[in-house]
Amino acid sequence: MRTLPTREHIEWFGSQYLRSPADLLDFRFSPILAQDFNGLPPALIITAEYDPLRDQGEAYANKLLQAGVSVTSVRFNNVIHGFLSFFPLMEQGRDAIGLIGSVLRRVFYDKI
């Protein structure tokens, strides 16, 4: 029995948000499909080594960078999709939350 989320699991969960399969092609559901990334705010992209969506997240970070958007992209190794939920038990989850806090502080507080 598999315990990790598979691509099929992720797609099923995503489909619960949609009215029809055609909505999968809507950039509001999948931002990587947007035609224009110019003018977007700084982005933090966190990926997990064993996440079926890792490659898509990293490709999105690269598209943002190519459009001149300020991006912090970090892959956390040896973890699965949703690893932040396990922050009480996993150092990587705590590290990711710390990273989120430091990026938010840099983007919002340091500009005051």
Q: What pLDDT digit, counting tens, does each position of 68-107 carry? A: 999 999 999 999 988 999 888 889 999 999 999 999 998 8
pLDDT tens-place string over residues 32-54: 999 999 889 999 999 999 998 99
Per-position DSSP letters for 76-88, written without gaps between them: EEEEETTGGGGTT
Range among 15-24, 67-76, 102-111 rated most confident: 67-76
Alpha-carbon gap, residue 112 to 110, rounded angstroms: 6
- Cα separation, 86 vs 93, in Å, equals 6
Q: What is d(CA 52, CA 14) in angstroms, rounded to the nearest whole number?
A: 13
